[in-house]
Structure 1
Amino acid sequence: MLMLDARNDANILVLCGPTGVGKTTLGEYLIEAELDHQSDAMQNNPGLIPAIRIEAPASGERDFSWRLFYQSILESLEGDLNVPRTSYGVNPETGRVSRSLGPHQNRLSDLRTAVERSLRNRGTRFVVIDEAAHIMMQCRPQDLVKHINTLKSLSNKCGTQWILLGSYDLLETVSLSAQLSRRIHVIHFGRYRQDVPADVRAFRGCLNKLAGYFPYLKDVDLLRYADELQVNTLGCVGTLRSILGRLNLLVGKYSWSEEMLRRALLADAQVTQITREILEGESRIAPGLERHLLRPAASEKRRVV
């Protein structure tokens, strides 16, 4: 929330973490919180849409589809309007409306202009982009710089911040260039760790709360298996919710037993792969913290000595 208040000092927020940690749920919460905060303003101005959430499209094309991306934004802000988007303006010499020549079939430049106009008119403060890794997939480094520069340009023109949700692959965005690194702020959305007592307590609280939403699990004492569930889910609440959903279906059909719990858990191969990705991602974030926080302090101490 502090970075959202920073506005121009943080054009792009990268919220990264392991799979199943709850990034999508957090993105939805940010939208709900902003809509609630702006409720009075929205009543006075029915056209105000302060925040939206979209998903970066995976179109199956070789490159990232900005056309589909822009269309998703326009559908969220303006609805499904099946009309051409045309780039237009006013000729300063004649005072007449001018627009580009040729057929108007929602060219990319026209969609971009429509998005800029819509973001400004709707007063959109920030846009949450889920599955933001799709912007980076099958993308050359020079093209990735262009993609991030496009978001930065939209932010500068419209005053809109972009919140990119995704896995640790998003960390690559901060190493593209010095100019982009200054505009990107990385927030690590980590898992509940087993070696941190506060995390263990929090995970147990999540387990107890989530189990209450499933009708066939309300009378099951799942806290007895909290340690096993934290190991199997690697402390990721989104994964925990999926497991409880499967367990609820099994218990509803076959009744409760530990065998049903075992059937609902992730397989060893799944846990191994997710663990590998988490450890690699955390190892990429930790050195950055040590480099920027610990080393300057050590050098300062040497100068004092």
Structure 2
Amino acid sequence: MNEHLREAVNGARFPHPRYVEAVRSAAALITFSGEGSVVAMVGPPRAGKSTAGRAAAREVYPHSNPDSIPYVVVDCSRTDAGYMSMRYLTLDLLAQLGHPFYGDLEHSLRLKLTETNARLQLRRAIEYRRTKLLIIDEAHHLLRVKDRSGREAALESLKCLGNETGALIFLIGGYELLRECFCSAHMNGRLSILHFPRYGTSTSDAGCFDRILASYDVLLPWAKGHSLLEMRDLLYEGSLGSCGLVGNWILLALARMTSLRSQRLRMEHFESARYKQQLAEIAEDISFGESALQPIEKNHIGALEIAPITDISGRKIVRRPGKRLPKRDPVGNAERQR
């Protein structure tokens, strides 16, 4: 029975507005972004970002012929001595592209090649497979480097890979990814942000969140008088409005129920499975992300401090709207050209 419960909760998929909108927006950006662009899908933990990104890729590229691989997905998880390794990420991309030298881990000698050589092979593989989309999941791990310059180098390396091959780089990760993406003017020039937000406290959001709880409720062995909807305020506060965290919390509560040899699920199993410090860390990350993703509004554009255009002498150039920029004088003898 316990195995059945675990599979039922893990396998539960409830299409909801946040997810549907994320898939639609991701598919649109994949379709219309220019070659070599970078898209970053960010949001709270376990919101469904990875699932949405893959679903969007399948929607845009539903078919492929045997020789082409229109998109690949890799997790940015393998590390070198605890730090993120761009070399390992390159090798993982080569394996996903079916490179004959890197697709089989038994070829250990190939794994000893330098990052530079592996990168060259990756560029050739992307061109040969006609790959248009590289999805890097858990992309916030790109920031797990020894120093700040390494963070910039990792993101710049991916941006340059897109520029060299024309492939769209699609990053999926937590809000902390924004801390580095927003710090580079060159990255921002080709960066699009896709926000997969949590559910808020508005009436419409509360209704959607409650429907998710009701969908989970029918799967669980509740004691009389207990249900997710009965403790919805606790569930919202403990999940911070992220439906993915609700699913994870349910599994922890089931584990707590089993360890106490109970047959029915109760509120106390949920209360003892979550800690305040866990919520504090997640809440801080969400607070940063939501504050960083304030959209541009007309009345706020003037608040941006942009240096005025000046001439050689340093005088500010004032140009009326619609007036064209001056052209360079023709090269050669001015008297002859009259």
**TM-score, with structure 1 as normaliser:** 0.76
Q: How many residues align?
A: 270
Per-residue deviation, residues 54-80 of structure 1 (Å, max 9, x unmatched) = 111351437541210111111222132
Match of 1:206 in 2: 212
Secondary structure of the residue that 1:20 maps to in structure 2?
coil
Match of 1:6 in 2: 32
Cα pair distance change 1:184/1:85, threshold 3 Å = farther
Match of 1:48 in 2: 68
Cα pair distance change 1:105/1:10, threshold 3 Å = closer
Task: Output the amino acid matched with 1:114.
Answer: Q
Aligned 8 A contact 1:85 1:110 in 2: no
* Pairs within 5 Å for 1:261-272: 261-264=270-273, 266-272=274-280
Per-residue deviation, residues 149-186 of structure 1 (Å, max 9, x unmatched) = 22122212322211112222211333333222111112
Secondary structure of the residue that 2:156 maps to in structure 1?
helix
Cα pair distance change 1:180/1:77, threshold 3 Å = same
Q: Find 2:189's aligned residue among 170, 174, 182.
A: 182
Match of 2:127 in 1: 120
Match of 1:279 in 2: 287
Question: Sequence identity of aligned pairs in percent?
Answer: 23
Q: Find 2:267's aligned residue among 223, 236, 258.
A: 258
Aligned 8 A contact 1:14 1:163 in 2: yes
Q: CA deviation at 1:295?
A: 1.6
Comparing 216-225 with 118-127, greater Cα deviation is found at 216-225
Comparing 60-69 with 156-165, greater Cα deviation is found at 60-69
Mapped to 2, the partners of 1:189 and 1:13 lie a distance apart of 13
Please tell me whether residue 197 in structure 1 is matched to residue 203 in structure 2. yes
Aligned 8 A contact 2:137 2:173 in 1: yes
Aligned 8 A contact 1:151 1:162 in 2: yes
Match of 2:104 in 1: 80
Please tell me whether residue 228 in structure 1 is matched to residue 252 in structure 2. no
Cα pair distance change 1:85/1:209, threshold 3 Å = farther
Cα pair distance change 1:208/1:46, threshold 3 Å = farther
Please tell me whether residue 137 in structure 1 is matched to residue 157 in structure 2. no
Q: CA deviation at 1:4?
A: 1.0
Per-residue deviation, residues 229-250 of structure 1 (Å, max 9, x unmatched) = 1111000112111012223444
Per-residue deviation, residues 98-153 of structure 1 (Å, max 9, x unmatched) = xxxxxx94222221122112222223221221221221223544443332222122
Aligned 8 A contact 1:10 1:161 in 2: yes
Secondary structure of the residue that 2:77 maps to in structure 1?
coil
Comparing 139-148 with 64-73, greater Cα deviation is found at 139-148
Q: Mark the runs of 5 or more structure 2 residues left unpaired by the alignment.
A: 1-26, 305-338
Mapped to 2, the partners of 1:13 and 1:281 lie a distance apart of 16
* Pairs within 5 Å for 1:4-83: 4-8=30-34, 11-34=37-60, 37-39=61-63, 42=64, 45-61=65-81, 64-78=84-98, 79-80=103-104, 82-83=106-107
Mapped to 1, the partners of 2:223 and 2:88 lie a distance apart of 43
Cα pair distance change 1:80/1:297, threshold 3 Å = same
Larger C-alpha radius of gyration, 1 or 2? 2
Q: Find 1:243's aligned residue among 249, 256, 259.
A: 249
Q: Mark the runs of 5 or more structure 1 residues left unpaired by the alignment.
A: 87-103, 300-305
Mapped to 1, the partners of 2:251 and 2:86 lie a distance apart of 35
Mapped to 2, the partners of 1:108 and 1:179 lie a distance apart of 24
Secondary structure of the residue that 2:169 maps to in structure 1?
strand
Mapped to 2, the partners of 1:256 and 1:141 lie a distance apart of 47
Which is helix-richer, 1 or 2? Answer: 1
**TM-score, with structure 2 as normaliser:** 0.69
Match of 1:296 in 2: 301
Aligned 8 A contact 1:57 1:68 in 2: no
Cα pair distance change 1:277/1:7, threshold 3 Å = closer
